[in-house]
Amino acid sequence: MTENKAYACIFGEGVDLLQAVGLAGIPCVSVSPPGAVPRFSRFCRAAVMWHDPLREAEALLKALLEFARTVDEPPVLFYQGDEDTLFVSRFRSELAPHYRFVIPDASLVEDLIDKDRFEAFARRLSLPVPSSTTLRPDAPPSAEMGITFPALVKPIARQLATESWRSLAGHAKAVQVASLDELTRVWRQAASNDTSLLVQQLIAGDENRIESYHVYVDSRGDVAGEFTGRKVRTFPVRFGHSSALEISAEEDVRTLGADLVKRIGLRGVAKLDFKRDPSGKLYLLEANPRFSLWHHLGAVAGVNLPALVYADLTGRPRPTRATARPGVGWSKPLEDLRAVRAAGAPLRTWLSWTIGARARSGFATDDPMLVVGWALRKVRRRVGGRHVLPSAAPSR
């Protein structure tokens, strides 16, 4: 094993969390499908076959336990999707003897991830969230519900955002509706696929009004590391996925984020998303108790939250406490090019941002094989099978 270090097992097909962990000199294992881009990273020393964390949980658990038996020191788990987080939380007792990880209490994980439960949870704690209503497949929207338009509509659970949702929203996370008739049309299509919806107060402003607080709270309840950031662009332009991000230094975001983490009683890592309305008021959109692509940007800006977690779990010294440098940027270059074009901005906007970004998703000059992995993913056929790949045994 490299320098007698515990391996970091990183869930998912995204490369940013793996890059954050790898930049700290930690040997990484990719828990992902065959041919996934993270497997091409210079930081990736081994791979474990990824299964759908919820639909094939037992198979994934078996693969992870088989891998743990091949190494000398219990690996550290890093999870970054909702499904990954639920898997680790629900199988914590089975994983704990063989892996090390930080995660909030099981009930809190469920409260934060499920949008329906989060609505009730937020009301109970008087969190500053937009007003919202849940629509079930068996109960159409009505004027008596008092919904204010325009409103935002999103599926209750992200794993339900399937082809039926894409037919409504494309690749956007939500859709905007201007009337009860429009809402009814969206509900009817969702109901035909047994999908519940969250109808939420629309906070005015573009996606660059979305700001975030990122934190690691250790087992004592102390903030071991934190930083704030904001979205610059998304694709699609409205309600899309991040394509350009930036570290910020907004004290009200940090103060409110730290206060809410205490009120929630969270231990571990979290990302709190806010939207700033035209008056400057911050609304909490969601609180995600997991790692994220943001940790790549945080690492290059001086605050590597995964490295802090790894140090605590393995009994190694923590990296020196630092403050993230404001203005450091992250780019997902090809998606950001699409975002710039969709917004009608000049190409030089994209070019200057991409050149200036300290963190680029999948396009790192010090990790060139990621580009090869990305290109192959575009052309290869899907690979079947349900087994641990031959590369699952780590090199020594």
Closest C-alpha among 147, 156, 212 to residue 184: 147
Confidence class of residue 358 from pLDDT cuts 50, 70 and 90? Answer: very high
CATH topology of domain 2-101+369-391: Rossmann fold (3.40.50)
- Residue ranges of alpha helices (H) inside the chain are 16-23, 57-68, 82-90, 92-95, 106-113, 115-125, 163-169, 180-191, 251-264, 294-300, 305-314, 333-343, 347-356, 369-379
Asked whether 239 and 165 are in contact (CB, 8 A), the reply is no
* 238, 172 Cβ separation under 8 angstroms: yes
pLDDT digits (tens, 9 = 90+) for 233-254: 999 999 999 999 999 999 999 9
Q: What are phi and psi of 230, to 5 degrees?
A: -145, 155
So what's the pLDDT on residue 384? Answer: 45
- What is the token pair recorded at 254? 């940090």
Of residues 150, 276, 135, the one with CA closest to residue 201: 150
Residue 85 reports pLDDT greater than 60: yes
Report the pLDDT value the prediction gives residue 378, as an integer from 0 to 100.
62
Question: Alpha-carbon distance 179 to 157, whole Å?
Answer: 23
Q: What is the mean pLDDT of residues 8-27?
A: 95
Residue 121 tokens, joined: 């949870």
Q: Could you count the other beta carbons within 10 Å of the beta carbon of residue 239?
A: 18
Topology given in CATH for the domain delimited by 131-201: Dna Ligase; domain 1 (3.30.1490)
Query: Could you read off the pLDDT of 282-327 as tens digits, one per residue?
Result: 999 999 999 999 999 999 999 999 999 999 999 999 999 899 999 9
Radius of gyration (C-alpha) of the chain in whole angstroms: 21
Question: Residue 3: which pLDDT band, with cuts at 50, 70 and 90?
Answer: low
Q: Is the Cβ–Cβ distance between 129 and 284 less than 8 Å?
A: yes
Note the pLDDT tens digit of each residue in 110-129: 999 998 899 999 999 999 99
- Three-state DSSP class for 73? coil
Instruction: Please give the Cα distance from 387 to 200 (Å, whole number).
Output: 42
Confidence of residue 377 (pLDDT cuts 50, 70, 90): low
Q: What are phi and psi of 184, to 5 degrees?
A: -65, -40
Q: Higher confidence at residue 162 or residue 92?
A: 92
Terminal-to-terminal C-alpha distance of the chain: 5
What's CA 93's distance to the chain center, in Å? 24
pLDDT at 165: 77
Domain ranges of the chain: 2-101+369-391, 131-201, 207-360
pLDDT of 160 reads 46
β-partners of residue 177 are 151
Largest CA distance in the chain: 66
Name the residue with higher pLDDT: 76 or 377: 76
Give 371's pLDDT tier (boundaries 50, 70, 90): confident
pLDDT in tens, 142-184: 999 999 999 999 988 655 455 677 778 888 999 999 999 999 9
Has residue 394 got a pLDDT over 80?
no
3-state helix, strand, coil in the chain (%, to 5): 40, 20, 40
Query: Domain 207-360 belongs to what topology?
Result: D-amino Acid Aminotransferase; Chain A, domain 1 (3.30.470)
Are the C-beta atoms of residues 286 and 211 closer than 8 Å to each other? no
What pLDDT sits at residue 322? 92
Q: Does 2-101+369-391 match 207-360 in CATH topology? A: no
